[in-house]
Structure formats: structure tokens, C-alpha cells
Homo-oligomer: A and B are copies of this chain.
């Protein structure tokens, strides 16, 4: 008798973004004239860099002739892209990586979700709170969640609150943990850790044999000099951290799908017999067995993002989004709101006024201002009383939204 993985039915069926979509749809049905501005889902709106499109098309043309046709590529990604990543994203930071420490994939969501395959079900997982829901849900699916309590927390997962009271700096866990997810610049709060703050975590991980899963998907938005672009800027991090990166938000690849994950060869975790095993080898095994590599044409597009032209085009988009972020932040602060993030990230984390709950404020914004945000509580219990706005819209709409919010 075929049996399901029961962990799947433990997860509540209602998904944050589908609930948002439903409420917006209902409102629109009742108010067809409403001019709704969407600042909810974190999807980009600016087109793909021209350099990437040109490379994609050139690669597609190569597929037309037997002599240049590419079939199965390396599951880990082509060397041309892995080498470019090492040279462009790490060497300038003073970080030395081998190309076989870089694994190209179809995006950070897949990799942060699949990484659990190589880890024991018995690990105790810690997440910052609020948090990108994929980290929690994928661990629940793998049997590491325990049970969902009324406070919105899973019994076997440790939550590290990030609130204005602690400057959004997660405190080191008091209890024993094995694995911790850190995402900086942070989704959803838009806040960051300085090098000194991240060093505390690396030191803690090294001392306690904890694995850090570091999500750096938003690193391109960093503007302040003491915020690390990679966890490997911190001494010792190669022995305790995996880093996930993405072309989604930086180069507009949300619909083009490419990212990469760094698993340093020094990084080890423990087998049942106490032996220390290199995670690079395990992840390589996972990827060669369950993945067939990212499309060749997409990898060529990703490579082009690093060309001088590509870099310039990417920077234009980042500047554009960060200008939106500033507009939102300044406008909301002028209007008396308490606002976080928006300096090194395209996310604005907004304290709801007058003690409103996240969904109450969501409904208020939708019905009174025709603005769609994301209720903070959707990202975890510590998100209650907050709302996330994104800077990924057009500047025109951003300005219009801020004007409405100021009223």
C-alpha cells in the first residue's frame, strides 16, 4: 500500500501569497475601478540586461548546428560560468574558491530547499524570525518540524526573533542547535548584519559544530561598507557555512532561473559513526543524481551578466530599485511611520500603526489606499505587527503609492 510522506499534510494549506491574491481579487471584483498598486510579491519588473539576452540568443543559435550543439552539460554547471563566478564574485572580496566549490543551479529556492537532502533528519534547525517560508516548510516536509503550535511555531524548530528591540540582530541560541539559516541582506526585513555581527555567528558555529546556511540572494543591493557580501569574508566561515546566491533579483532572472551555491571543500559534518564528512562531496552526489544541470543557454546568459556591459546594466536596475527604496523609506518616515530596511536591500519592513495586526493593516492598505503589501506575520510569529513593501515596482508607481500613504 503506497504511503504518503505525512509531513506534507501537517503544513497548513493556505499559502501566504495565494491568500493575498484572493483578498486582492475579491476587492477588485467589488471595486472594479480601483487603481491598485502592488508592492507585495518580491518579483522584479525591469527587463533582463541586454547583454544577457544577446548571450542567450547567441547560445540558442549554437544549438542549431551539430558542430556547436550542446547536449548534457555538467550537472554542477559549465566551467565558463563557475570560473566567472569565482573571479567576479569572490576574488575581489579576497576570497579564494576552486571552481568545484561552486554549483550552478536553477535558483536559490531549489538549492535552499534541496540542501536538506544531504543532512540527517535528526538535526535541530534554527531560523531567524520572521523568515523566508521555504526554509521552514522544506524542513517540515523532511520531518524536522515536529508539530505546529497555536503560536505559529513548529515544536522542533528554534526561532530567533528579529525585532526593533534587538536591532534585528538574531541572538545566539540558548539551546542546542545543529543548523541555522541566515539570510543577509534579509528577506523580509531588509536589515543586515555587519561583519562584526556576522563574525559572532561564525565563531559560534565553529565552536559548536553548527552548520550555517547563508542565503546571500540580495547581496548586490548592499550599499554600506561594513556589510559583508559573502559570509566567506569572515575568517573560518569556509569550515562552517554554505552560501546560496541568485541572479533573480540582481539581474532580473526571476523568470529565467539561475543561481549558484558554494560548498567549500573544508566544510564537514558528522556521520553516525562520528566521522567528519565533506559536504561538497555529498552535495555533488545529490546534484549529479537528482539534477541534470541548468540549461546551457541560461548559463551563457548568466555569464554575460558579468561582462562590462552586463555589469553596467545590472547596476542600473539595482540603482533604480534602491532609489525606489529610498523614496518609500523617506516618504513613510515623513508620514510618521516606523520603517526598517531599505538601505542595503529592496525591502521595506514597516511597523503597523496603532497596534494593528499585520492582516488588519494589509486590509486597511488594500481598501483605503489601494496598495498591496505582504503581511509580516506571513513570514513567522515575530512578523506580527509588521508589513513588507518591496521596491521592485516602477518609480512612477512607487511615488504614487507613497503619496497615498502620506495622506
Contacts and interface: CB of A to CB of B under 8 A. Distances in A.
A255 B300 CA distance: 12
Contacts of A50: 64
Nearest to A267: B2
A60 to B, nearest CB: 5
B66 A113 contact: no
This chain's copy number in the assembly: 2
A138 interface: yes
A137 to B, nearest CB: 5
Interface stretch (A40-48, A148-156, A192-200, A326-334): A40-48
B4 A279 contact: yes
Contact of A5 (B69, B107, B118, B257): B118
Interface string A125-150: 00000000010011001000000000
Interface in A368-397: 394
A53 to B, nearest CB: 5
Interface in A162-201: 178-179
Given A255-B70, A271-B9, A56 B141 contact: no
A270 B2 contact: yes
Nearest to A11: B285
Interface residues of A, number: 81
A209 interface: yes
A347 to B, nearest CB: 16
Contacts of A57: 56-57, 60-61
Contacts of A230: none
Interface stretch (A29-37, A291-299, A356-364): A291-299
A290 interface: yes
Given A4-B119, A47-B64, A107-B292, 7 more contacts: A2-B179, A4-B279, A43-B71, A45-B66, A47-B65, A53-B61, A72-B255
